[in-house]
């Protein structure tokens, strides 16, 4: 195992960063703290990352692996700490949020980071961080959580349910979405959920959500009249429940919701106890 040594110049960077209580640093800041040229600053960053004093989080930005981790090259092992520095603003979403909210079991080494800013994803020794870019007007519905001593931003339960249904491939598939919906039903603020639906402006999403909550007959039901506000309007086109590329376009047509049930029922029912 490599011992984390420091040259005099490297120590200027690491010690000044720790003394200031900072955890993140850019190539520009490395240059300023060490008093070196831009080219040598990039070399310093590379060497400090190789010695595992820094962890690259993209865009010329690095996260400190502090001295409290000991003299040996202990790699950064907290994916939430790394992922929360990938973009700003951000929230952990989709399957990651569902796992953090207790709606899915912890199973994935892929962490979904949602942000309105474009940029690269990240793969480290610890996990893969996938950046999901959304329009600024669709970036809402978040809350703070503390996990493993780290304060992180996640989508709230209502936004998590909507995000997962909108992109099941990031949420454990449709079976995972059903499990998420069933687990979340007793904790949902139904009026907030409806506001989010209106704000997102997707009738397809509203129809599929209403269909699932009614068809699954979950124990925790929406308030009286809530589902009626989502029902299909005369002349509205039918929407497939599952993505046609995966499930095709054929299936039973539900006339109340204008949903094409193109997904095998056993797949939907497998994860929950439908009453």
Number of domains in the chain: 2
Q: State the pLDDT confidence band at 71, using cuts at 50, 70 and 90.
A: low
Rounded to an integer, the average pLDDT of 223-228 is 90
Mapping DSSP onto H, E and C, the string for the chain reads CCECCCCHHHHHHHHHHHHCCCCEEEHHHHHHHHCCCHHHHHHHHHHHHHCCCEEEEECCEEEECCHHHCCECCCCCCHHHHHCCCCCCCEECHHHHHHHCCCCCCCCCEEEEEECCCCCCEECCCCEEEEEECCHHHCCCEEEEEECCEEEEEECHHHHHHHHHHCHHHCCHHHHHHHHHHHHHHHCCHHHHHHHHHHHCCHHHHHHHHHHHHHCCCCCCCCCCCHHHCCCCCCCCCEECCCHHHHCCCCEEECCCCEEECCCHHHHHCCCCCC
Which of residues 173 and 52 earns the better pLDDT score? Answer: 173
> pLDDT tens digits for 96-136?
999 999 998 876 789 999 999 998 888 887 789 999 999 99
Mean pLDDT of the chain: 87
Whether residue 250 is contained in a domain is answered as: yes
Whether residue 61 is contained in a domain is answered as: yes
In this prediction the pTM is 0.80
Whether residue 273 is contained in a domain is answered as: yes
Q: φ and ψ at 149, to 5 degrees?
A: 80, 5
Q: Which of 47, 74, 101 is the last residue before a domain boundary?
A: 74
**Residue 222 domain boundaries:** 188-275
How many whole angstroms separate alpha carbon 100 and alpha carbon 178?
Answer: 17
What CATH number has the domain bearing residue 67? 1.10.10.10
Whether residue 59 is contained in a domain is answered as: yes
Whether residue 251 is contained in a domain is answered as: yes
Q: Which of 45, 74, 103 is the last residue before a domain boundary?
A: 74
Whether residue 164 is contained in a domain is answered as: no
Whether residue 50 is contained in a domain is answered as: yes
Q: Which of 51, 74, 97 is the last residue before a domain boundary?
A: 74
- Is the distance from CB of 263 to CB of 241 less than 8 angstroms? yes
Which of residues 249 and 105 earns the better pLDDT score? Answer: 249
Whether residue 202 is contained in a domain is answered as: yes
> pLDDT tens digits for 197-220?
999 999 999 999 999 998 877 666
Q: State the pLDDT confidence band at 181, using cuts at 50, 70 and 90.
A: very high
């Amino acid at each position: 195992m490599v011992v984390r040594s420091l040259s005099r110049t490297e120590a200027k960077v690491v010690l000044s960063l720790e003394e200031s209580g900072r955890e993140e640093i850019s190539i520009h800041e490395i240059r300023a703290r060490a008093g070196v040229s831009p080219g040598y600053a990039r070399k310093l960053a590379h060497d400090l990352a190789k010695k595992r004093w820094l962890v690259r989080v993209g865009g010329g930005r690095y996260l400190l692996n502090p001295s409290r981790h000991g003299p040996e090259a202990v790699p950064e092992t907290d994916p939430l700490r790394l992922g929360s520095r990938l973009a700003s603003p951000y929230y952990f979403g989709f399957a990651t949020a569902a796992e953090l909210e207790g709606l899915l079991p912890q199973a994935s080494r892929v962490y979904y980071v949602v942000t309105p800013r474009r940029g690269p994803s990240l793969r480290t020794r610890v996990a893969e961080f996938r950046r999901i870019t959304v329009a600024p007007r669709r970036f809402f519905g978040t809350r703070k959580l503390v996990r493993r001593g780290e304060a992180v931003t996640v989508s709230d339960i209502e936004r998590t349910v909507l995000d997962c249904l909108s992109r099941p491939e990031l949420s454990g598939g449709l079976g995972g979405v059903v499990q998420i919906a069933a687990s979340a039903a007793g904790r949902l603020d139904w009026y907030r959920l409806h506001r989010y639906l209106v704000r997102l402006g997707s009738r397809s999403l509203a129809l599929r959500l209403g269909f699932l909550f009614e068809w699954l007959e979950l124990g925790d039901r929406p308030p009286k009249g809530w589902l009626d506000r989502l029902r299909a309007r005369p002349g509205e086109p039918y929407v497939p429940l599952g993505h046609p590329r995966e499930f095709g376009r054929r299936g039973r047509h539900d006339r109340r919701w204008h949903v094409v049930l193109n997904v095998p029922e056993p797949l939907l029912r497998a994860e929950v106890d439908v009453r």
